[in-house]
Amino acid sequence: MSLFEPDILNETALPPNARRLLTPERRLLVAILSDAIDCYRKNLGGRTARARRLCREAEHWIHDDDQLWVFSFRNICDALGVDAAAMRARAQLWKLRGTADARDSEASRLNTPSQCAV
């Protein structure tokens, strides 16, 4: 598991004594960050308009450098001690991989006979 995989944001992945350090406010910040990253990853290469919109909104939030809004990506990362630049780089890598994976699966779908009638 990589340091910046979404599982690292899951409070159950923390050692038992570290969970006590998570105040309700910090748990809320972890939940917001985790939800945004899950939303982004799950909807990368989305085929429906809703999936593409969710991915676009999550990507915009991740890459926005707003520090005025209390729940901005940058402020949440700062409050949790998470490297925002590293998270953004990882998101970009997911996008590049997702795009390559989508191209590969599309190419293989076009080059192999379909298993079902459309």
Alpha-carbon distance 38 to 30, whole Å?
12
Angle formed by the axes of helices 49-63 and 24-43, nearest 10°: 130
Model confidence at 49, pLDDT cuts 50, 70, 90, reads very high
**Res 98: pLDDT:** 73
Instruction: Please check the confidence at residue 78 and state whether its pLDDT lies above 90.
Output: yes
- What are the sequence ranges of the domains in the chain? 6-98
**Res 113: pLDDT:** 42
Instruction: Please check the confidence at residue 100 and state whether its pLDDT lies above 80.
Output: no
**Res 86: pLDDT:** 95
Instruction: Please check the confidence at residue 76 and state whether its pLDDT lies above 80.
Output: yes
Model pTM above 0.75? no
